Chains A and B, each alone.
Chain A
């Protein structure tokens, strides 16, 4: 895909891109998994941790945060992992295996546009999840968040970038759908653990804390936690995520196959 499109081509390409987005969006609505992960999961988790917070009020030991406060970034990262690692690579490998990417590649539209549309639909779901988590925990369960917009946008962009690019690495390297499902299953579990879904990182000491801190999902949770309380995210978390993103994006682009 090294061609330089002329100006008139550029105009046409916007027309077909909106069609692609429309189709991918409709497909996402018809396929309940994406909606369940992007919309259903955050609602359920906000309710669960909101109720836990009501049952055991006050700050979690050794921290200045309530249970729900600590889980606000974890739920966001949890949804990013579901969408970017558990779902996206499976869809892309399916598209590749069924010959859909190849079919599109013999039209004037490069198949990378199909990938872009698929990414945008998943990003939209991720953003919807973020809004659900923020407003749900604030408005329904009274979490005292103080979102620092700039910090938050920076943390959010990097969190989504690092997790989605890891998903794209799986899509690039996995030889078949069954391998993809196995890989994404393992990776999802690992990332969820490192994000602190089961044990909040703030309550962990020693080498495990370090590993969690410097993992893609752990770093994302750290950065998001700071930014929803209007504090500058630790630069180590920012650098960690940026570094992972560069490596993952390089691998995904280098090894992605269209057929």
Chain B
């Protein structure tokens, strides 16, 4: 029984307004069972609002959301039993102990995981008897992840998963999320860290000014940025025609004595070899692979100048 490609969440034409401000404007996507689905976008783009509608915290103005065939607004109680949510900027009573919080939340769910094991996996078992206000930022974040996962959810919504964690803890958390996914949990990850999105997500939705700007795999989105780039100084002038003739070159840009070409494939090698054949040597070479960061900047900038009706917050 292969259910790997079954759609577990479907969002259609979702619209959410706060007064005159359109936070989410006609966003549609669907999420497959067992994937890590990333939602990225600049601050105030509407990412959090979108997942708050999915988790039933907010009621959409129009559009529809279906989670395993249930509506988060009408059947929220049934959904909550298999939905784990980590909220951005959520705190807890200052004198509540880590162990108490996790055990309390375990009691809320029909089939919770073992609280101790979860704390162990997250590396916060040593602070089980510490009260919340004594925890470090990273420990608080890990506790918040623990509360999202203790109910043994089928779907986990994680908003700003690794904010406040140090690099090592981030890597550990990523590994944890991957293992959660490997156990068949569908994960929605809201993030503004491109390395996180690139590393973890099977597919990404980029939301900008409340609109869905692009939806694809991280690799495909990275390629949208124009892909790879090589900057060099030629030993003698080269005209654009020659440069565009080199295989893989899509764009040529000149600045003082530097030439920058962007394109696909092993760009540095083909530029060096092709120019060597016509007797031009290159020096001062700098090559960069296109990444999600570039794509993010490019896509969000394009859209801002594209007057999409979004309001700047």
A27, A98, A106: the one within 8 Å of B85 (CB): A106
> Which residues from chain B contact A207 at a C-beta distance below 8 Å?
none
Q: Are B87 and A107 in touch, CB under 8 angstroms?
A: no
Count of A-B contacts with CB under 8 A?
A: 63
Within the complex, the shortest CB–CB distance from B154 to chain A, in Å, comes to 13
B80, B87, B100: the one within 8 Å of A102 (CB): B87
A12, A16, A31, A100: the one within 8 Å of B95 (CB): A31
Report if A106-B93 is in contact (Cβ < 8 Å); known contacts: A19-B103, A19-B104: no
Q: Are B89 and A99 in touch, CB under 8 angstroms?
A: yes
Q: Are A15 and B107 in touch, CB under 8 angstroms?
A: yes
Q: Are A103 and B96 in touch, CB under 8 angstroms?
A: no
A54 at the interface (CB under 8 A from B): no
Q: Are B92 and A103 in touch, CB under 8 angstroms?
A: yes
B236 at the interface (CB under 8 A from A): no
> Which residues from chain B contact A106 at a C-beta distance below 8 Å?
55-57, 80, 83, 85, 87
Q: How many residues of A contact B (CB 8 A)?
A: 24
B94-140 interface (Cβ within 8 A of A): 95-96, 100, 103-105, 107-110, 131
B147 at the interface (CB under 8 A from A): yes
Report if A23-B96 is in contact (Cβ < 8 Å); known contacts: A106-B80, A107-B108, A107-B151: yes
Q: Are B92 and A107 in touch, CB under 8 angstroms?
A: no
Q: How far is the CA of A122 from the CA of B92 in the complex (A)?
A: 19
Residue of B nearest to A5 (CB): B77
A1-48 interface (Cβ within 8 A of B): 3, 5, 12, 15-16, 19-20, 23, 26-27, 30-31
Q: Are A16 and B107 in touch, CB under 8 angstroms?
A: yes
Within the complex, the shortest CB–CB distance from A27 to chain B, in Å, comes to 6
Residue of B nearest to A28 (CB): B95
> Which residues from chain A contact B55 at a C-beta distance below 8 Å?
106
B200-237 interface (Cβ within 8 A of A): none
Report if A108-B92 is in contact (Cβ < 8 Å); known contacts: A99-B87, A103-B87: no
A102-116 interface (Cβ within 8 A of B): 102-103, 105-109
Q: Are B93 and A95 in touch, CB under 8 angstroms?
A: yes
Q: Are A109 and B92 in touch, CB under 8 angstroms?
A: no
B81 at the interface (CB under 8 A from A): yes
Q: Are A108 and B57 in touch, CB under 8 angstroms?
A: no
B242 at the interface (CB under 8 A from A): no
> Which residues from chain A contact B305 at a C-beta distance below 8 Å?
none
B89, B95, B108, B147: the one within 8 Å of A108 (CB): B108
Q: 1/0 per position for B267-293, CB-CB distance to A under 8 A?
A: 000000000000000000000000000
Residue of A nearest to B56 (CB): A106
> Which residues from chain B contact A23 at a C-beta distance below 8 Å?
96, 100, 104
Q: Are A98 and B92 in touch, CB under 8 angstroms?
A: yes
B90 at the interface (CB under 8 A from A): yes
Q: How far is the CA of A106 from the CA of B148 in the complex (A)?
A: 10
Residue of A nearest to B75 (CB): A3
> Which residues from chain A contact B109 at a C-beta distance below 8 Å?
107-108
Within the complex, the shortest CB–CB distance from A116 to chain B, in Å, comes to 14
Q: Are A27 and B104 in touch, CB under 8 angstroms?
A: no
Sample 8 A-B pairs with CB under 8 A, ordered by A number.
A99-B87, A102-B57, A103-B92, A107-B105, A107-B109, A107-B151, A108-B81, A108-B108
Which B residues contact A (CB, under 8 angstroms)?
55-57, 77, 80-81, 83, 85, 87, 89-93, 95-96, 100, 103-105, 107-110, 131, 147, 151
9 shortest interchain CB distances as A-B pairs: A99-B90, A98-B91, A19-B107, A106-B85, A16-B107, A30-B95, A107-B108, A108-B80, A109-B108
* 6 further A-B pairs in the complex, CB-CB below 8 A; given A15-B107, A98-B90, A102-B57: A20-B104, A27-B96, A95-B93, A107-B105, A107-B109, A108-B108
